[in-house]
Amino acid sequence: MTTLNIMLQAQAGGSPLSFWIMIIAIFAIMYFFMIRPQKKKQKEIEKFRNSLQVGDNIITSGGIHGVVKQIDPANSIVTIEIASGVKIQIEKSCIYSRESLNQQA
């Protein structure tokens, strides 16, 4: 009975090497399933915002639909027209997506 207890205690302790391998494996899993896809998505959003042009129909993060009238790249401010003669200025980072032409019908 004593030999069995000694063997079980020796197995339960584990080696420090297996602990570090497990930590590295968890970090690798988190990187490939969480961090890397998020960085890729952020790059795509930044590419989209930098490709905006005057005349594009856009939707802001607040749900406002409008047409880009002016872009100030130095201050990251975009002027959009939301109704005839009504223009507002918003941060470029608040632009959510480009409005598709099918939705305007």
- Tens of pLDDT along 32-68? 899 999 999 999 988 988 888 999 899 998 889 999 9
Q: Regarding the domain delimited by 53-104, which CATH topology (the fold level of the hierarchy) does it fall under? A: SH3 type barrels. (2.30.30)
Q: Mind listing the pLDDT tens digit for each residue in 75-103?
A: 889 999 999 999 999 999 889 888 776 55
| d(C-alpha 90, C-alpha 88), whole Å | 7
pLDDT band at residue 16 using 50, 70 and 90 as cut-offs? confident
Residue type, 61: S
**Percent of the chain that is helix, strand, coil (3-state, to 5):** 50, 30, 20
Domain ranges of the chain: 2-47, 53-104
On whether the pTM is more than 0.75, the answer is: no
